[in-house]
Structure 1
Amino acid sequence: MYISTRGAAHKLTAAQAITQGIAPDGGLFVPETIPAIDNEALAGFVQLGYQERAVAILRLFLDDYSEKELQNCVAGAYNAEKFSNGAIAPITKVADNLFALELWHGPTSAFKDMALQLLPRLMSCALKKNGESNEIVILVATSGDTGKAALEGFKDVDQTNVMVFYPEDGVSRIQRLQMITQEGSNLKVIAVKGNFDDAQTGVKRIFNDKALAIEIARNNFKFSSANSINWGRLVPQIIYYFSAYADLVKNKDITMGAAVNFVVPTGNFGNILAGYYAKRMGLPINKLICASNSNNVLTDFLTTGIYDRKRQFYKTYSPSMDILISSNLERLLYHISDNSAAAVNQWMSELNNMGEYRVDEKHLQAIKEIFPAGYVTDEDTAATISRVFKEHGYALDPHTAVAWQVAETYRLRSGDQTPTIIVSTASPFKFNETVLSALNQTESANITDEFAALRHLAKLINRPVPTALAELEQKTVRHTAVCNKQDMPEVVKQALQTK
């Protein structure tokens, strides 16, 4: 069963929680108990493929889904038609005791595919299971990758409508093209004049607008979410932590039971939180190292216990992490406070009313024991892309470069030589302008055409341009809407009135 981090919502089944997205009290759904995986089951993962590993993890959290339902959902999500690498989430050894978990071989070349190819199938199944007759309106705030992955995953899925809001000047050119050219009769894409936090706050306000919910219900619509506030978005991410570990054992890079570290570039805290659940389940994770860019609100919190969103917002080379309000942190706060909804309510109230909160020393020490943290400037991000390619012939996107540099800094300062897995969240082609510039290609400075830049980068790093990105050159722009952040509710209402 699933309960709200803020304590006021009824317990729901997994299917109900996935359909609803966010709890009616404004909290996030969490599992009432976290299942455990013993060493024997973990050892059994080694000889399994990604699909089988996925079903094994999902059945522990989604026990109201039948085995056949889970198998069908997984088979539809993770297959050769969707993913260019048969391993789905392959792990590559780049240096001594340093590995890259590549989560970007899916249709949008970013790690959000790992969850957003599965979520539409889980939700479609849940709608039938729950006897839901309303059409689901899925609202998405995106800093670049979630939007395209949600659009791709939910394209023409029955009984769903998707509206994606993205910061007008806060995504890469490729990310923007991916969204505004998206086909699908049930999709809308709207640029917001503001940053990601403006878009995310706007979506949360719509979710919490009871009058609007009643108004759209009269027309047989119901709100839900594809952001990682939805448990159905988070649970698929737990899978690849287990899969990466099993692959390291299979490749004889580690022995079964050996501890590993994961380094995760994150802004909304969802990706690294999935690793926390894996650790709580029994995966031998030593540290989960949180990597941030100059919007280092998470680094500050994880080292001081003070979460202060009242700070300058930076547009960086790693835009998917340009976030100052990390929604998924609420789930961690619930768990580390011994499931105290009262404590979470207090902290979230302080954040909303004063823009900051502080956890006490006991909770801070519990957090620091698991989550070392660091941040990287744009200058260091570019230098890391250049250095790693020169030393190892391995091309990093800016987000993965942030994680790489934080990993190296952590190792140097701590002396911790635990085998380390860097969670690589995007293809370098999604951020070709930054990558080309970082590689100091003098001729690349004169390339102004996005697709010429893709082809140039392909030659330089000796990798093919992902098919879906290459095809953008011939696609028609379909979405041109722009709105002010305060007008988002009205945009939603108008869109549904024309359905």
Structure 2
Amino acid sequence: MQVLYKSTRGKEQAVTASMAILKGLSEDGGLFVPESIPQLDVPMDKLAQMTYQETAYEVMSRFLTDFTEDELKNCINKAYDSKFDTEKIAPLHEADGAYFLELFHGATIAFKDMALSILPHLMTTAAKKNNVKNEIVILTATSGDTGKAAMAGFADVPGTKIIVFYPKHGVSPIQEKQMVTQKGANTYVVGITGNFDDAQTAVKKMFNDHELAAELDQAGFQFSSANSINIGRLVPQIVYYVYAYASLVRDGRIKDGQEINVVVPTGNFGNILAAYYAKQMGLPIHKLICASNENRVLYDFFRTGTYDRKRDFILTTSPSMDILISSNLERLIYRLTGENAEKCAELMKSLSEGGEYTITDEMKAQLVDFYGNFCSEDETAQAISDIYKNSNYVIDTHTAVAAGVYKKYVSETADHLPTVIASTASPYKFTRSVMEALGEEHKDLDDFGLVDALSALSGVPVPRAVEEIRTAPVLHDRVVDAVDMPAAVKDILKIK
């Protein structure tokens, strides 16, 4: 059965999966969603025997129906290879009463690798399928991880360029070093004097700028997105929840059909939305636990039904979640409206113009699959410390937010179902915050000195991705104001 994709704001005709991946964002400003969620019709006992790559094919082929078997398997095999430091790709680690789904074994030691390793291959295959002659310019905003993972994926991929904007003072030193040392003749990194929301808003505005699109077309370029708004990012993320469940069955941790809970540290809402789609496919997930940091915009939404971005932007030790506009929530809102594109567009307009929207009681009642809570900075540090003391396992700050929220969930509900916690980054990406939480401040050490200290403490070797940037030269040093982002793009592409 062919799955087509339509806009959450409804003005555009339904398009194929490959076209939705190429466009990134619908021309009416909406996000592409599947017209129907396909069912996971492979028996679990079969899935339990599959490799990650085989599982990826079974899940993704249900969504990306205009890719041939050879095309899709080629994309999967190129993506999930020796770039990952474990054959399992996404192993589970049992600690402190939960199963940590380690999504950080790729080239940039964060969960974004799981989708961004395959997106360039999906996109270049999609371009060929649709006879695209223009060079594709990947335009993306990052809160720290997407940018590096996207550049690592797209570096020197023929027919593409990638331009990444990041908040100059809103990422960790390791995250920044990973980005500004990125090699590749087609990669460009630009810091902005603003926060992630400023960068993301400006990127969305450029996507919707028809004059700019015409200028690009004339120069032989067209925009596409590697942000989590691209359906080509979202579909690969569904895979690891299916793989985690099948792994638990294979290892005898749960029985086929037994429900589990899933906890996700959440910023842009894409990662937890993928878990929600997995549940819609038929994966036995009981509760989707949405963990926020002190910016807590999603916690307040789940509690009150009002999404309100009018608040102070807080820089925390979990910077990839320092987000006030969770773009992917629009896809869930669309479903809550009964797929009423007009109503969804109205709510999104209210958010962009007035800074907030409120869903109806009927819509709020449909959020029963979700539980939302948040962790303060102290609670985040405490979670890192507790899990190390209890299980000799070191987690990063984002995973700690999830672990802390899970503890609150169990305390409130006494629900002890087997639980998978999405571990979204390596602790080596946030060494100073992690070491401080463990009571090992080492104020005299720089970030790479702390890397060695963490390795000695944890017994876990320093990841290749960190070793590579230790002495790498800075190749990108451009910084602009958010308002000057379009001018920077034109300058990079040499458009007068």
| Post-superposition offset of 1:196 | 0.3
* Contact map agreement 1:437 1:445 (CA 8 A) in 2: no
SS at match of 1:23: coil
Match of 1:87 in 2: 88
Q: Deviations over 1:406-451 (max 9, x none)?
A: 0011001111111111100000000000011111025x2321x221
Aligned partner of residue 279 in structure 2, secondary structure? helix
- Letter in structure 1 aligned against 2:52: Y
| Aligned equivalent of 1:11 | 14
AA in 2 matched with 1:95:
D
CA separation in 1, counterparts of 2:267 and 2:40?
A: 28
Post-superposition Cα deviations, 1:346-383, rounded to whole Å, max 9, x if no partner, equal 1001101110000011111111x011010011111111
**How far apart are residue 55 of structure 1 and its match?**
0.4
Corresponding position: 1:61 with 2:63: yes
User: Could you say which residue in structure 2 is the equivalent of 1:446?
Assistant: 444
Mapping for residues 144-155 of structure 1, pairs under 5 Å: 144-155=144-155
Answer whether contact 1:155 1:184 (CA < 8 A) is retained: yes
Deviations 1:125-165 (A, max 9, x none): 01111110000111110000000000000000011110000
Distance 1:492 1:149, change over 3 A: same
The residue aligned with 1:271 is: 271
Secondary structure of 2:232's aligned partner: helix
1:474 aligned counterpart, secondary structure: coil
Is it true that 1:299 corresponds to 2:296 in the alignment?
Answer: no
Q: Distance in 2 between matches of 1:41 and 1:57?
A: 12
Q: CA deviation at 1:42?
A: 2.9
Quick check: 1:85–1:105 contact (8 Å CA) kept in 2?
yes
State the match for 2:454 in structure 1. 457
Tell me if structure 1 keeps the 8 A contact 2:181–2:472.
Answer: yes
Match of 1:318 in 2: 318
SS of the aligned residue for 2:443 comes to: helix
Name the CA shift for 1:43/1:340 in 2 (closer, same or farther; >3 Å): farther
> Which residue identity does 1:387 align to in structure 2?
D
Instruction: Provide, for residues 310-347 of structure 1, a one-character-per-residue CA deviation record: whole Å limited to 9, x for no partner.
Output: 00100000000000000000000111221110110110
* Residue 46 of structure 1 pairs with residue 48 of structure 2: yes
User: What residue in structure 1 maps to residue 389 of structure 2?
Assistant: 390
Show CA shifts across 1:63-97 (max 9, x none).
11010111111011011x2100110000111133x
- Aligned partner of 1:457: which letter? L
Give the aligned residue type for 1:48: M
Within-5 A mapping of 1:178-257: 178-257=178-257
Give the superposed CA RMSD.
1.0
Question: What secondary structure is seen at the aligned counterpart in 2 of 1:445?
Answer: coil
Residue 498 of structure 1 deviates from its aligned partner by 6.4
Name 1:70's counterpart in structure 2: 72
Q: Distance in 1 between matches of 2:233 and 2:324?
A: 20
**Which amino acid letter does the alignment assign opposite residue 295 of structure 2?**
N
User: Residue 292 of structure 1 contacts residue 374 of structure 1 at CA under 8 Å; is this kept in 2?
Assistant: yes
Distance 2:12 2:161 in 1: 25
Name the SS of the counterpart of 1:291 in structure 2: strand
What residue number does 1:162 align with?
162
Cα distance in structure 2, aligned partners of 1:66 and 1:216: 31
Q: Which stretch shifts more, 433-442 or 112-121?
A: 433-442
Structure 1 residue 30 corresponds to structure 2 residue 33? yes
Which residue is equivalent to 1:177? 177
Moved over 4 A (4+): none
Q: Partners of 1:383 and 1:435 in 2: how far apart?
A: 10
| Aligned residue type for 1:93 | E
Aligned length: 493
1:20 corresponds in structure 2 to 23
Return the alpha-carbon distance in structure 2 between the equivalents of residues 479 and 185 of structure 1: 12
CA distance, structure 2, for counterparts of residue 320 and residue 441 of structure 1 = 23
Tell me if structure 1 keeps the 8 A contact 2:193–2:480.
yes
> Distance between the aligned counterparts of 1:498 and 1:28, measured in 2?
28
- Superposition TM-score, scaled by structure 2 size: 0.98
Amino acid at match of 2:92: I
Contact 1:261 1:420 in 2 (8 A): yes
Q: What amino acid is aligned across from residue 325 of structure 1 in structure 2?
A: I
Cα drift, residue 463 of structure 1: 0.2
- 1:170-189 deviation line (CA, Å, top 9, x unaligned): 00000000000000000100
| Amino acid paired to 1:19 | L
Which runs of no fewer than 5 residues in structure 1 stay unpaired? Answer: none
- 2:457 is matched by which residue type in structure 1? L
Q: CA deviation at 1:401?
A: 0.2
Whether 1:365 aligns to 2:362 is no
Q: Report percent identity of matched pairs.
A: 51
Equivalent pair of 1:307/1:356 in contact (CA under 8 Å): yes
The one-letter amino acid paired with 1:438 is: A
Q: Could you say which residue in structure 2 is the equivalent of 1:418?
A: 417
**Whole-Å separation in 1 of the counterparts to 2:440 and 2:493:** 48
Q: How far is the alpha carbon of 1:303 from its aligned partner?
A: 1.4
| TM-score (ref. length: structure 1) | 0.98
The letter of the residue matching 1:31 is: P
Q: CA deviation at 1:61?
A: 0.5
1:493 aligns to 2:490 (yes or no): yes
* Partner Cα separation in structure 1 for residue 185 and residue 19 of structure 2: 26
Task: Please tell me whether the aligned partners of residues 96 and 390 of structure 2 are also in contact (alpha carbons under 8 angstroms).
Answer: no
Distance in 2 between residues matched to 1:455 and 1:237, nearest whole Å: 31
Distance 1:353 1:95 in 2: 44
Query: Would you say the 8 A contact 2:397–2:430 is kept in 1?
Result: yes
* Aligned partner of residue 152 in structure 1, secondary structure: helix
Please tell me the residue identity of whatever aligns with 1:406: V
